[in-house]
A and B are shown apart, each in its own frame.
Chain A
Amino acid sequence: MTVESPPPAAAARRLLQQIGLEMAFLDLASPGGGSAGAVLAGLLMELESAVALAPEPIKRLTAKARECTTPLPAAMPDFILSLADWLSDWHAWMEEAVASWERGLQLPSVPQPLETIPGATASTPVTAVAAPPPRPGPDASVSAPPRRLVLDDPAGHQDVTVLPQEADPELVRLFCAESHDLLRDVEQGVLVLEGTPNDPDTLATVFRAFHTLKGNAAVMKLADLHRLAHEVESLLDAARRGGRSLDRDAIDVILAAADCFTRFVTEMARQVEGLSPGQSLSLPVPAILAAVAHLLAAAPAPEAARGQAPTPPPAPRSAVGAGEPAAATPPPSPAPAARATEPTASAGPAPAAASAPLTTAGTSIRVDTHKLDGLIDLVGELVIAQSMVVQGTTAERPPDEHLARALARLRGITSDLQRTAMGLRMVPIRGTFQKMARLVRDTAAELGKDVRLVLEGEDTELDRTVIEQIGDPLVHMIRNAIDHGLEPPATRTTAGKPPTGTIRLSAFHQGGFVVVRITDDGRGLDPARIRGKAIERGLIGPDTVLDDRETLDLIFAAGFSTAEQVTGLSGRGVGMDVVRRNIEGIRGKIEIDSVTGAGTTFTMYMPLTLAIIEGLLVAVGDQRFVVPTLSVRESLRPLPGDITTVHGRGELVNVRGRLVPLLRMGPHVGVAARATSPADGIVVVVEAGQECRGLLVDHLLGKQEVVIKSLGETFAGRHGFAGAAILGDGRVGLILDTNALVRLKPTIAGSAA
């Protein structure tokens, strides 16, 4: 970023001027010094960056001022009073010192009183935070900090303004996107730390994530979040230095802080797009801060370590440096802070560098999905244009050798380009799987079950549209497994099983599909009970004969799960029928397998990509349509004797002994078909589930892989078409929605309702 940067000392001097002004507005009667207190805290952050290269006493004194003003917003009134006096003296000294620094003169000596921050006890400044309640409510008495993190108590909550005034929307979006990534790192890392609390690499990653979150919050002038991140960072730092191991309480606190951030950032993202009118969120920030303070106070870590903690060892804390976005959008802070970025550049590439166990090494960039889709659209057009060129040249006369070679090369490069472009849409399933880890932990805790999650095949890549769609079904099935499938530890032990239940999530490629499998070693499904329930619900008659497989399949039937089976956890009345519908909606298939007493396995088969299907191209009149080959059973030219017309039931075609209702596509799509009698045309038999329909078309034009494009909202709600495809000559061919066509009620003489 090229900015005209004034020398740091001059910048520091100007900041001190502003600080002096703000100090005058410190409202000693209101907690936290009123709004001036928050502004002051922000200015001091900037000052700290400005004095990064200053002589040591200036840096030290600035750090002290930062230290004691950081708790400012929630500090008690008398703390403010003594602080104000100290600040006055501090300001006077700082002005003199900075002036000397600017002129290269020797600094004035630091008066002894300035070395002691007011209000701090023998222990750390953070303890000062633990005491006060978040705001002057009726319960202004200081109670002992809670032993465990209690998040439901409204007294531990605080209203946090979400979208700062005059926030630049682009910056806000960037902040939200970055924060989401960081919070994901935090969650993954914390779950690792639960198992190995002292793993140095993971600790470093999570620490760095909060450090960056803190810096970003400062840039965005989010004082509450900044403080939250700061405190959690301290906790992590204490663990990093070996002073404090992360126990379950600590993990809970860190996760709670991450949740606060997540809620805040999500709400902020909504507000910046105008999707949410709210102004502020009630977040348990004070409760978490109190818990952190308690944890730190209980730690055996020496004060020196704690006092050092806020300043990361390598370089002076730079509010901006840590927050420098990868896309290098210039942040709105003054130039000196930007210059201070250099020493802390380590904060930037840090996520890529040392966290090998958690993230795949390697660089990546953020790309707008619209741009990506646009690129893929253009590649599709290129493929068509290229084949038109080839057809055009070969049609006239055989091309000369030179041209032929060039065309072959063009074709090769185009098909490579197309494969690469389609590959851009592929995303590893790791992200989705990792989200399940958190779900398992929380759900198991809530239900008093002991569960471990094993993940396999996290590198398996799926089209990003498919990934978006399998999240919900997975969540539902995992909740089911923990709720109904896995037994409580005592029951398991009695049954001779290990008390810890295992859920195994695996993903792999098989025969052109992506297979995702969930297995649990719980109590399994009992065909007899399922059968009984199905009879009870009227889904099958008491005499219906079904084998075990078909019986298990009944759980996918609509209406199988009812209110009594649904706990608050496994569904809001959502049953496996919705799961199956979701999977089939992405052209997938789900199967179930179970051994009573031993466990249950769900296997989902999904296409590698939703963007492309193989279609049978058909002509009706002068229009062309695409019929997905997956739904095509067969096609035939019927003999006149194969057609039966039944009064009021429409036309039927005899397909090898089976009577299939006929649908004349001409009238259905409003095109004048060439074939007036079915015997003049072709009948394409399509199926959906167990039902079939014969579609009467004029010609079969061949099979083709086509890219599916959405028709858009103009055509939303018009049934019969699943989308549009760009055909080989660049024109659009509509893709038939065979499911809808099969289920159309037949009416008189073959035309559809």
Chain B
Amino acid sequence: MNTSTTGQPVGPLTAQPGKYLTFTLGRERYGLPVLVVREIIRLCPITPVASMPPHVRGVINLRGKVIPVVDLRIRFGLPDPVDHDRTCIVITQVAAAGGGSRPYGAIVDGVEEVAAYAADDLVPTPDFGTSIDTRFITGMARSGAGVVTLIDLEAIARADREPT
């Protein structure tokens, strides 16, 4: 665990025990609740949409449906994201404004596995100081020798609508 933190947890641990899809952004490992994941596809041609924030890469055609796609690497400020042959799009289902759900695609550098985290494995998000935006982090999970950062995709989708 990276010890260069103040050590004080910031906010309550909101991540629930359960199954998570783990994936990589750059060299870091992240996790999404598996329940929101519908499928994973290889990177395919993305049609950009003008005047959107940089992390919104555009839309794709998935079996006849037009789905928005965001780049989580850009969203979390990771330096110099590069699309390579392991880059994939995780197709998820998030809440729609008027009720019901809508598809939402997220670009990641690679997908690892589905891991089950028990309550013991979960720890609250530490305070990283002001350098990191922790709004979208629900907690951290101890996984093997390392740590997985668990994120709240619904919150990310909602924040897209906020003026940047």
Interface residues in chain A, defined as those with a beta carbon under 8 Å from any beta carbon in chain B: 273-275, 376-381, 623, 668-671, 709-718, 720-721, 724, 726, 730-734
The segment from B85-93, B96-104, B108-116 found at the interface with A is B96-104
CB distance from A198 to the nearest CB of B (A): 45
B48, B102, B104, B160: the one within 8 Å of A623 (CB):
B48
17 contacts between A and B (CB under 8 A): A381-B63, A670-B50, A670-B51, A671-B50, A709-B65, A711-B66, A711-B68, A712-B67, A715-B68, A716-B161, A718-B51, A721-B49, A726-B64, A730-B61, A731-B47, A732-B59, A732-B60
CB distance from B83 to the nearest CB of A (A): 16
Min distance, Cβ A753 to any Cβ of chain B, angstroms:
12
Contacts of A731 in B (CB 8 A): 45, 47, 61
Give B3-40 as 1s and 0s: 1 = Cβ < 8 Å from A's Cβ atoms. Answer: 00000000000000000000000000000000000000
Chain B residue contacts of A710, Cβ below 8 A: 66
Is the pair B66, A724 in contact by a Cβ cutoff of 8 Å?
yes
Q: B157 interface residue, CB < 8 Å from A?
A: yes
Give Cα A269–Cα B99 distance, bound, in whole angstroms.
13
Give the residue among B47, B56, B58 with the most A Cβ atoms within 10 A: B47
Give 6 closest A-B pairs by Cβ, nearest first: A377-B64, A732-B47, A714-B68, A709-B66, A381-B64, A670-B50
A-chain residues with CB within 8 Å of residue B160 when the two chains form the complex: 714
User: B52 at interface (Cβ–Cβ under 8 A)?
Assistant: yes
State in angstroms the CA–CA spacing of A714 and B161 once bound together: 6
Specify which of B58, B66, B67, B102 is in contact with A713 (CB 8 Å cutoff): B102
Measured between alpha carbons, how far is A611 from B65 in the docked complex, in Å?
Answer: 13
In whole Å, how far is B105's beta carbon from the nearest beta carbon of chain A?
Answer: 10
Q: How many whole Å from A622's CB to the nearest CB in chain B?
A: 10
Q: How far is the CA of A378 from the CA of B102 in the complex (A)?
A: 17
Residues of B contacting A717 with CB < 8 Å?
Answer: 161
Task: Give the complex CA separation of A329 and B49 in angstroms.
Answer: 45
Cα-based distance from A380 to B64 in the complex (angstroms): 6
Determine the distance from Cα of A622 to Cα of B111 in the docked complex, in whole angstroms.
30
Assembled-state Cα–Cα distance A710/B66 (Å):
7
Which residues of the other chain, A, contact B56 by a CB distance below 8 angstroms? Answer: 714
Total inter-chain residue pairs, C-beta < 8 Å: 73
Q: A623-B47, A731-B47, A732-B47 are in contact. Are A713 and B64 (CB under 8 A)?
A: no
Task: Give complex CA distance A376, B65 in Å.
Answer: 10
| Nearest Cβ on chain A to B15's Cβ, whole angstroms | 24
Residues of B near A670 (CB, < 8 A) are 48, 50-51
Contact, CB under 8 Å: A669 / B50: yes
Instruction: Classify the interface of chain A: helix, strand, loop or mixed.
Output: mixed
Residues of A within 8 A of B97 (CB): 713
Report B54-82 residues with CB < 8 Å from chain A CB.
56, 58-61, 63-68
Shortest Cβ gap from B106 to chain A (Å)? 12
B48: A residues at CB distance < 8 A: 623, 670-671
- The answer, among B49, B63, B96, B161, for a CB contact under 8 Å with A711, is B49
Report whether A378 and B47 are in contact in the complex, using a CB–CB cutoff of 8 Å.
no
Q: In the bound complex, what is the Cα–Cα distance between A273 and B51 (angstroms)?
A: 35
CB <8 Å contact, A273 and B64: no
CA distance A429 to B16 in the complex (A): 50
Which residues does B use to contact A, with CB under 8 Å? 45, 47-52, 56, 58-61, 63-68, 96-97, 99, 102, 104, 157, 160-161
Chain B hits for A715, CB < 8 A: 49, 52, 68
Complex Cα spacing A503 to B54, Å:
56
Q: With A715-B52, A724-B47 known to touch, is A377 a contact of B65 (CB < 8 Å)?
A: yes
* Separation of A91 and B51 alpha carbons in the complex (Å): 76
Q: A714-B68, A731-B45, A732-B58 are in contact. List 5 more A-B contacts (CB 8 A).
A: A376-B64, A671-B48, A714-B104, A718-B49, A726-B61
Which residues of the other chain, B, contact A718 by a CB distance below 8 angstroms?
49, 51-52
Complex CA distance for A668 and B45, rounded to whole angstroms: 21
Nearest CB in chain A: distance from B137 CB, A: 21
Nearest neighbor of A275 in chain B, beta-carbon distance = B99
Q: How far is the CA of A378 from the CA of B104 in the complex (A)?
A: 19
In the complex, the chain B residue whose C-beta lies closest to that of A717 is B161
A380 to B65, CA, bound (A): 10
Minimum Cβ distance to chain B for residue A13 (Å): 46
In the assembly, what is the distance between CA of A718 and CA of B51, in Å? 8
Q: State A376–B63 Cα separation when bound (angstroms).
A: 11
Q: Does B51 contact A732, Cβ atoms closer than 8 Å?
A: no
Q: Which residue of the partner chain B has the closest CB to A379?
A: B64
Asked if B49 and A377 sit within 8 Å, CB to CB, the answer is no
Cα distance A711–B96 when bound, in Å?
Answer: 13
Q: Which residue of A lies closest to B97 (CB)?
A: A713
- Determine the distance from Cα of A714 to Cα of B158 in the docked complex, in whole angstroms: 8
A378, B66: Cβ atoms closer than 8 Å: no
Of all chain B residues, which has the CB nearest A382?
B64
A732 to B61, CA, bound (A): 6
The answer on a CB contact under 8 Å between B60 and A378 is: no
Asked if A273 meets B99 with Cβ closer than 8 Å, knowing A711-B66, A712-B68, the reply is yes
Give the residues in chain B near A721, CB-CB below 8 Å: 49
Distance A721 CA – B59 CA, assembled complex (angstroms): 13
Whether B161 and A713, one on each chain, are in contact in the complex, defined by CB atoms closer than 8 angstroms, is yes
Residues of B within 8 A of A377 (CB): 63-65
CB distance B63 to A734 under 8 Å?
no
- Chain A hits for B99, CB < 8 A: 273-275
Q: In this complex, what residue of A is CB-closest to B63?
A: A381
Check A726–B157 contact: CB distance below 8 A: no
The answer to whether A733 and B47 have CB atoms under 8 Å apart is: yes
Q: How far is the CA of A304 from the CA of B160 in the complex (A)?
A: 69
Q: With a CB–CB cut-off of 8 A, which chain B residues contact A716? A: 161
Find out whether the CB atom of A711 lies under 8 angstroms from the CB atom of B59: yes
Q: Are A668 and B50 in contact (CB under 8 A)?
A: yes
Chain B residues closer than 8 Å to A669, beta-carbon distance: 50
Complex formed: what's the CA distance from A732 to B83 in Å? 20
Of chain B, the residue at the smallest CB distance from A720 is B50
Nearest CB of A to B51, in Å: 6
* A709, B104: Cα distance in complex, Å: 15
Query: CA A377 – CA B103 in complex, angstroms?
Result: 14
Report the Cα distance A711→B160, complex, angstroms: 14
Measured CA separation A733–B49 after assembly (Å):
10
User: Which residues of B sit under 8 angstroms from A275, Cβ to Cβ?
Assistant: 99
Kindly list chain A residues whose C-beta atoms are within 8 Å of the C-beta of B161.
Answer: 713-714, 716-717
- Taken together as a complex, chains A and B put the C-alpha atoms of A380 and B68 apart, in Å, by 19
A741 to B99 Cα, complex, angstroms: 31
B47–A713 touching, CB < 8 Å? no
